């Protein structure tokens, strides 16, 4: 190892001194290494081989029953100044956080192997990509990071060239919920995660690096790290427009990223390409446009609800070479989850016990699949382009049963930033006791922004400068309901009808009606051929409830005040401008 890697070698030595592992293994990402790891995990029961005839090269992992999801209340951003973390994050002083974590890490890897995982977020040769190194004692993490990132020797070579990397230290510890923390030190580009083996807490390249740390890096370096899918829409004329879209969880991100056009659109020659389903890094190019990469190399998707009807491309992706976590299995060892609708029945539940619907569901509601993005039938050939893809439109959306129309366009960039800052979703009966409670989730980044939201909004606004050719900004709502409580819009593939209008607006060919909240399509502006909409649906999907929007903008104004003196004045003025227009 050359001197450029001296800081990495020194850090590995320090961690080994603290954690006292039985062995140290530097991951090279090779097939031989992977096969040896898998064999080891199969031998000790960490992985269970699934049916080779139906799901070749696929495995089931059952996590500890107390370790099945992200732990927001145990996730901290540790900046020198509390205000830099902002009201949107739990904060701890860096010295206190390091002391707390180092006490947990002390001797925690005794009898275990310490794995050093060099990885690259984004195409290995892209100037937009950033590298990291995760140290972990979990072979399950190694196997997942190999799918989710560009891991191994090529990443190490890039780290050696650049000399900078994000440091991530992880141990499953005792899997004790009382001894579980995820700490982020953005000023040091460091992550420390202890006590969880779950993906979002343990695969440190994902939310920890690619969003919380990267959002901080992006602000320092003049780009954006966002919780957004990226899809390409190819028109019958052969032009491809790329759209980045942000939705809170349970709003159909993966479904939209892998959308299959309605039959009429397919016949006409429309195609949809998947670049990414979860995270988007965007940077201004020389021509003033925003160019985006998907920093991830795989999908870490929610299994329950995925079916041939809801998302055929996702289901096709996971038929081989997939790691399933916390799903049920059939009698012949095929993965099974609620909503798969494949005519089979579960024999064992996610805890490995005989399935009894009275006890628990077969799959945990947050059961996951980890699979290479290349296995997706709609995978875009541009996904590995080092320059990224040019973004034509940015779309925000939430789950709103009332008030919010099917789609509207922001009038300019500042208005678009306000639309993103004010976006939210209503709670469902499954989540909480109270139904229809509106929770704001700015840009779908509430759990993931690594610094003060007020500064984050200011960073977004800063992209509007001379020479910029910024994407148009839109808001969509697939979830509007009628008086009978049923959805008014068919959704799924038919969402392409809305995306077609969005592309038409970008090209200057689609009509719109100007309103105080933005540009709305008239009913005739959308291709609704073959879609049966009631009079109520037409009125609510394309109409504007003035009184309701006045109340909404009063609420947005109160929410903005919560960000305090750092809130950009331009955002406050934009809220007031629209409130006045609604009142008039």
Q: Which letter does DSSP use for residue 355 in this model?
A: P
Domains 3-46+74-222 and 226-297+382-583 share a fold: no
Residue 250 annotated as part of some ligand binding site:
yes
The model's confidence at residue 430, banded by pLDDT at 50, 70 and 90, is very low
- Statement: residue 71 has pLDDT above 50: yes
Catalytic site residue from 108, 251, 280, 449: 251
Give the architecture-level CATH label for domain 3-46+74-222.
3-Layer(aba) Sandwich (3.40)
Distance CA 281, CA 129 (A): 8
Instruction: State the chain's mean pLDDT as an integer.
Output: 96
Distance CA 558, CA 535 (A): 34
Distance CA 273, CA 271 (A): 7
Superfamily of 298-375 according to CATH: Phosphoenolpyruvate Carboxykinase, domain 2 (2.170.8.10)
Residue 366 annotated as part of some ligand binding site:
yes
pLDDT for the residue 500: 98
Sign of CA dihedral 178, 180, 186, 188: positive
Residue 553 annotated as part of some ligand binding site:
no
Residue 252 annotated as part of some ligand binding site:
yes
Planar angle of CA 447, 448, 451, nearest 5 degrees: 110
Token digits of residue 416: 């678009």
pLDDT for the residue 438: 85
Top CATH class, 226-297+382-583: alpha beta
pLDDT for the residue 134: 98
- Furthest C-alpha separation in the chain: 72
Residue 253 annotated as part of some ligand binding site:
yes
Structural domain spans, the chain: 3-46+74-222, 226-297+382-583, 298-375
pLDDT for the residue 435: 61
| Radius of gyration for the alpha carbons in the chain, expressed in angstroms and rounded | 24
List 290's β-bridge partners, or say none: 284
pLDDT for the residue 510: 98
Q: Using one digit for the tens of pLDDT, what is the confidence trace for 81-98?
A: 999 999 999 999 999 999
pLDDT for the residue 3: 64
The model's confidence at residue 212, banded by pLDDT at 50, 70 and 90, is very high
- Statement: residue 69 has pLDDT above 90: no
Residue 495 annotated as part of some ligand binding site:
yes
Question: What's the pTM?
Answer: 0.97
Strand 518-520 to strand 389-397: parallel, antiparallel, or no bridges (unpaired)? unpaired
Question: Could you confirm whether 251 is annotated as catalytic?
Answer: yes
- Statement: residue 324 has pLDDT above 90: yes
**Side-chain-side CA neighbours of residue 468 (13 Å):** 17
Q: Using one digit for the tens of pLDDT, what is the confidence trace for 519-566?
A: 999 999 999 999 999 999 999 999 999 999 999 999 999 999 999 999
């Amino acid at each position: 190892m050359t001197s450029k890697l001296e800081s990495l070698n020194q850090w590995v030595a320090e961690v080994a001194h603290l954690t006292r592992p039985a062995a140290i293994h530097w991951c090279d990402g090779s097939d031989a290494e992977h096969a040896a790891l898998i064999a080891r995990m199969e031998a000790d029961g960490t992985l269970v081989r699934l049916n080779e005839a139906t799901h070749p090269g696929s495995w089931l992992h059952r996590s500890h029953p107390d370790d099945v999801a992200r732990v927001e209340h145990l996730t901290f951003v540790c900046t020198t100044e509390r205000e830099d973390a902002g009201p949107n994050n739990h904060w701890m002083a860096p010295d206190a956080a390091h002391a707390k974590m180092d006490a947990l890490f002390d001797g925690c890897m005794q009898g275990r192997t310490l794995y050093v995982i060099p990885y690259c977020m984004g195409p290995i040769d892209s100037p937009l990509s950033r590298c990291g190194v995760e140290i972990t004692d979990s072979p399950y993490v190694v196997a997942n990071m190999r799918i989710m990132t560009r891991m191994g020797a090529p990443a190490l070579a890039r780290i050696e060239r650049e000399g900078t990397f994000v440091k991530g230290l992880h141990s499953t510890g005792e899997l004790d919920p009382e001894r579980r923390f995820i700490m982020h030190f953005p000023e040091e580009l460091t992550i420390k995660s202890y006590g969880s083996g779950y993906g979002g807490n343990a695969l440190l390249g994902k939310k920890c690096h690619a969003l919380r740390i990267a959002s901080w890096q992006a602000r320092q370096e003049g780009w954006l790290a966002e919780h957004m899918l990226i899809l390409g829409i190819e028109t019958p004329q052969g032009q491809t427009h790329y759209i980045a879209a942000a939705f809170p969880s349970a709003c159909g991100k993966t479904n939209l990223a892998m959308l299959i056009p309605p039959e009429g659109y397919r016949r006409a020659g429309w195609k949809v390409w998947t670049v990414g389903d979860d995270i988007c890094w965007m940077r201004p190019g020389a021509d003033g446009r925003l160019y985006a990469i998907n920093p991830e190399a795989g999908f870490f998707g929610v299994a329950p609800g995925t079916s041939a009807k809801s998302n055929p491309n996702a289901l096709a992706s996971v038929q081989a070479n997939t790691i399933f976590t916390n799903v049920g299995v059939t009698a012949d060892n095929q993965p099974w989850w609620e909503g798969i609708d494949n005519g089979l029945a579960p024999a064992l539940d996610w805890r490995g016990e005989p399935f009894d619907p009275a006890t628990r569901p077969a799959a945990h509601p947050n059961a996951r699949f980890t699979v290479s993005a290349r296995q997706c039938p709609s995978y875009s050939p541009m996904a590995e382009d080092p320059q990224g893809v040019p973004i034509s439109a940015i779309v925000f959306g939430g789950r709103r049963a009332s008030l919010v129309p099917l789609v509207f366009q922001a009038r300019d960039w500042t208005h678009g930033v306000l639309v993103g800052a004010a976006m939210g979703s209503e709670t469902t009966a499954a989540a909480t006791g109270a139904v229809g409670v509106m929770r704001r989730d700015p840009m779908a980044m509430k759990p993931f922004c690594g610094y003060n939201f007020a500064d984050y909004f200011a960073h977004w606004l800063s992209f509007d400068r001379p020479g910029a050719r910024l994407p148009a900004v839109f808001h969509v709502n697939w979830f509007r309901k009628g008086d009978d409580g049923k959805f008014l819009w068919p959704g799924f593939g038919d969402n392409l009808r809305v995306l077609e209008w969005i592309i038409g607006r970008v090209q200057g060919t689609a009509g719109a009606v100007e309103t105080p909240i933005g540009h709305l399509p008239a009913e005739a502006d959308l291709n609704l051929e073959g879609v049966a909409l009631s009079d109520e649906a037409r009125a609510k999907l394309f109409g504007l409830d003035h009184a309701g929007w006045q109340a909404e903008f009063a609420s947005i104004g109160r929410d903005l005040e919560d960000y305090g003196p750092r809130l950009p004045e331009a955002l406050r003025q934009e809220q007031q401008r629209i409130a006045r227009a609604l009142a008039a």
